[in-house]
Chains A and B, each alone.
Chain A
Amino acid sequence: MATVAVPIERENYLNKEYGVASWLFTTDHKRIALLYLLSITFFFFIGGFFALLIRLELLTPAGDLVQADTYNKLFTMHGQVMVFFFLIPAVPAVLGNFLIPLMIGAKDLAFPRINLLSWYLYIIGGLFMMYTIVNGGVDTGWTFYTPLSTQFLDTHVVAAALAIFIAGFSSILTGLNFIVTIHRMRAPGMTWSRLPLFVWANYATAIIQVLGTPVLAITLMLVALERIFRLGIFNPQMGGDPLLFQHLFWFYSHPAVYIMILPGMGVVSEIVTCFTRKRIFGYRFMAVALIAIAVLGFLVWAHHMFIAGISLYSALAFSLLSYFVAVPSAIKVFNWTATMYKGSVSFDTPMLYALGFIGLFTMGGLTGLFLAALGIDVHVTDTYFVIAHFHYIMVGGMVIAYLAGIHFWWPKISGRMYPEFWGKLAAMIIFVGFNLTFFPQFVLGYMGMPRRYWQYSPEFQVLNVLSTAGATILAVGYVLPMVYLLWSMRYGKLADANPWDAAGLEWTTSSPPTTFNFDETPVVTWEAYNYDELDAPKEVPLER
């Protein structure tokens, strides 16, 4: 398969230096983004492998594939790996790292060495996680509830807690870097109200990372100390309170879900505008909605604890607040839809993924209304209804947004185009596989199937079989992009600087960009998503 005669390749961040050392000691935000891309993909497949085993076991009501303890380890580590080693870093550490300096006209993030340190911390945390997995695993559930995790299990709880603790610092440093970068490194003319929503989204995310993650850190520390020194902080027999753990844990872990979804929403805003050739409908409301979600997200944590033993009045307060936090998300969905009105819509792969996101996030978000409803939550909490809800948002939302972003910016990142046919095919396979996997779980949940069940009552079997069938289809869908994206790095069509004719400073650089991004610092005089200017008939010279 001969490549077309290639002109002498311009120097860019990929070919500037070769050799492992040039990658492992890089401070270039774009190279660090690729280091993250490799590592989170690795963990995604580990977590996905655990998921496949879980779904295989659940084909039959009896526990007949693996032992009960093994099953408990599988769902625990699936959750820990997917949440802390894939979902939390994915869009910020890969796409955010790569794009934020480009989008704001900067040469790098504010603290390039801290960026690299972030990646190393992630890797060290990942090594602790691999140690845990390889040495027998951990079976606390990803939520580590006490006193089960502190007193009743003899698996590698401390190692897993340490893994997540260290990865948490990676997340904190990334957030810190983004906040300072966005505040201080914007190019002249790039005011806050001209920022792409992707930047706003990562900014809101960074605030959550910086404020919430330290609380998880200290909570896991206390669990580790309690196990090592047999303290009694969470042990009722020693005067401790298991509910204290839950409050501390969920204080971080609820905002964490917004760390996962907000960057995805940012990606969708970039894509929807590009593939409708329009400004986003209601830019200000969209930006404020991102911040509102981040702030309100800190006020709702005990909606994970309605039946945990909190008072009736606490439950009422947290339920009401949970309804408040749903409003800005709804606003975003309406605004994306309105952006399509009187647009010029095309259906390239990134747009297919973005549309999938809007649909599936809407469904997932609406099911959140069920869970926030106290009377219903009593019945469906701790069942497959919750599992379906959060997978709709995390997988149907977040993973799809991540793939959308990877495809959209692939030409910028790699200098190559991915094959459009395979892109569309994979998107559709993923969409079908996803719905088949998780929709039946809503029904299972309301019918009463509890979560974390290795064996289950026979009447739940049919829906479980459907779900497993969907999972195998979904798996195929995920493998496809791995294959063709890798293929494209060598054999894909060469991309020019702006194959989508998209707005945004990142598209003014070469594909791939040079190490320092811009030959000259841009001076911005236009609003975000100025497609009306870009697409205007060309008598007027463009302002770039």
Chain B
Amino acid sequence: MFENLPLWPVRASSTAGSVDALYIFLLTLCGVMCIGIFTMIAVFAIRYRRSAGNRAEPIEGSTALELTWTFIPLGIFIFIFVWSAAIFFRERTPPKDSTEVYTVAKQWMWKFQHIEGQREINELHVPVGRDVRMIMTSQDVIHSFYVPAFRIKQDVLPGRYTTAWFRATKPGTYHLFCAEYCGTMHSGMVGDVVVMEPAQYQTWLSGGAAAGSLSNTGQGLFQSLGCSTCHRLDTQGRGPNLTGVFGKPVLLEDGRTVTADENYVRESILSPTAKVVSGFKPIMPPFQGIVSEEQLNALVAYVKSLSAQPSGAAGTPNLKPPPGETPSTTQ
């Protein structure tokens, strides 16, 4: 409805419609309220103007009226709250089989790493109709990933991952803006989200990465950085076996249980002694300052891929070897 009015951006995601619907409802409600109140004020001002000889009538108040105009607005507000909370809940709950794109924001550009290995700067290609989950972090200050046409926005923080998801519903090119002030060229940290038909997207994909998939890159790093020395995949070494770990609860040395999500894996690489797995010693060296954000993303993608197997697989996971190396089954 009203697609071409210059009052809102094009609706290009699955949630844009519901956001706009609530917006239009609120506009209407507030319009009605304003017109109502302003009309009453105008009518009273004119009808009871002193220049026509009106004298004031002493009126103290009316508890009934006060209660009415306390609880009716409260009721309306709670209705709006529930409606908007439902939208928010959907916006914050990515569907389970979303495609993932790792994002690193830095002053003043957006770097994207597709799972398949493509890297993009300031441009993000996605297929129409597919759920896409952005896993984002910042290299420096707080940024914010904002695509008005999708009606999504999420702050991107240094030191942790934040996520946002969308399903593009309309092919086209849409603005990407940084929406958290981040220094000199904050207003230049803009880009495009290019939504393509599935066939076009496949073509674009195959034009892409020489380096292999993100998790392959991660696997290479896992070996070259020496992770595989302690984190053996065939048995328990000095460090926990990471097979099947991602997404599951982990019991820590201090008794807490946490879920092994992206932030957990990231923290465990950068600052391993923050959360030590029960039964292990805090001997893993920290990799803070040694790995870049992009490398971290690759490692996280790799650890994730170790859980893509049927659970209970005790043998070596079935992975493609990094390009140029012979496959090895033991490390």
Contact = CB atoms under 8 A, between A and B. Distances in A.
State if A and B touch, Cβ cutoff 8 Å.
Answer: yes
B84 A359 contact: no
A534 to B, nearest CB: 10
A159 B271 CA distance: 34
Contacts of B149: 448
Given A282-B62, A446-B8, A148 B142 contact: yes
Contact of B158 (A236, A455, A532): A236
B54 A63 contact: no
Interface string A417-455: 000000000000000000000000001001110111111
9 contacts: A236-B157, A237-B159, A243-B157, A307-B153, A342-B59, A359-B41, A370-B23, A378-B152, A455-B188
Nearest to B187: A453
Contacts of B60: 279, 281-283
A345 B54 contact: yes
B80 A323 contact: yes
A375 B162 contact: no
B140 A355 contact: no
Interface stretch (A32-40, A87-95, A332-340): A332-340
Interface stretch (B71-79, B275-283, B294-302): B71-79
A346 B41 contact: no
B77 A333 contact: no
B91 to A, nearest CB: 6
A447 B66 contact: no
A66 interface: no
B56 A373 contact: no
A315 B89 CA distance: 10
Interface stretch (B44-52, B120-128, B201-209): B44-52
Interface string B96-115: 00000000000100000000
A387 to B, nearest CB: 12
B175 interface: yes
A355 B41 contact: yes
Interface stretch (A124-132, A196-204, A360-368): A360-368
B310 interface: no
B141 A341 contact: no
Interface in B4-49: 6-9, 15, 18-19, 22-23, 26, 30, 33-34, 37-38, 40-41, 44-45, 48-49
Contact of A362 (B6, B34, B177, B180): B34
Given A148-B183, A277-B55, A452-B181, 7 more contacts: A148-B181, A153-B183, A319-B84, A331-B66, A376-B87, A377-B84, A453-B187
Contact of A378 (B153, B178, B183): B153
Contacts of B289: 237
B284 interface: no
Given A375-B88, A535-B56, A450 B177 contact: yes
Contacts of B81: 319-320, 323, 372-373
Interface string B145-189: 010110111110111101000000000000101111111111110
Q: Is the interface of A mostly helix, strand, loop or mixed?
A: helix
Given A72-B184, A344-B56, A455-B188, A373 B65 contact: no
Interface in A371-407: 372-379, 381-383
Contacts, number: 277
A363 B186 CA distance: 30
Contact of A309 (B59, B91, B155, B177): B155
Contact of B7 (A148, A277, A447): A447
Contacts of B185: 68
B58 interface: yes
By CB atoms of chain A within 10 A, which of B44, B141, B181 has the most? B181
A148 B153 contact: no
Nearest to A373: B84
Contact of A276 (B56, B66, B183): B56
A484 interface: no
A334 B146 CA distance: 38
B2 interface: no
A242 B73 CA distance: 36
B23 A446 contact: yes
Interface of B: 6-9, 15, 18-19, 22-23, 26, 30, 33-34, 37-38, 40-41, 44-45, 48-51, 54-62, 65-66, 69-70, 73-74, 77-78, 80-81, 83-89, 91-92, 107, 140-142, 144, 146, 148-149, 151-155, 157-160, 162, 175, 177-188, 190, 271, 288-289
Contact of A345 (B23, B50, B151): B50
Most buried by A among B154, B160, B180: B180
Contact of A343 (B44, B73, B148): B44
B182 A236 contact: no
A63 B37 CA distance: 41
Contacts of A382: 144, 146, 153, 179-180
A52 interface: no
A347 B42 CA distance: 12
A316 interface: yes
A333 to B, nearest CB: 7
A370 B54 CA distance: 40
B141 A147 contact: yes
B44 A381 contact: no
A69 B182 CA distance: 11
**Which of A278, A342, A358, A456 counts the most B-chain CB atoms under 10 A from its CB?**
A342
Which 5 residue pairs of A and B lie closest in terms of their CB atoms, listed nearest first?
A236-B159, A448-B148, A375-B87, A374-B88, A373-B84
A376 B8 contact: no
B73 to A, nearest CB: 5
A333 B92 CA distance: 35
Contacts of B34: 359, 362-363, 366
Contacts of B162: 309
B23 A376 contact: yes
Given A359-B38, A455-B188, A141 B181 contact: yes
Contact of A448 (B23, B45, B175): B175
Given A283-B60, A343-B56, A378-B91, A447 B80 contact: no
Contacts of B144: 307, 382
A335 B62 CA distance: 10
B45 A369 contact: no
A486 interface: no
A457 interface: yes
A344 B54 CA distance: 5
Contacts of A453: 186-187
Contacts of B18: 375
B154 A362 contact: no
Contact of B92 (A141, A312, A446): A312
A454 B91 CA distance: 30
B12 to A, nearest CB: 12
A278 B58 CA distance: 6
A24 interface: no
Given A315-B88, A342-B56, A450-B178, A69 B77 contact: no
B117 to A, nearest CB: 28
Contact of A535 (B49, B55, B62, B186): B55
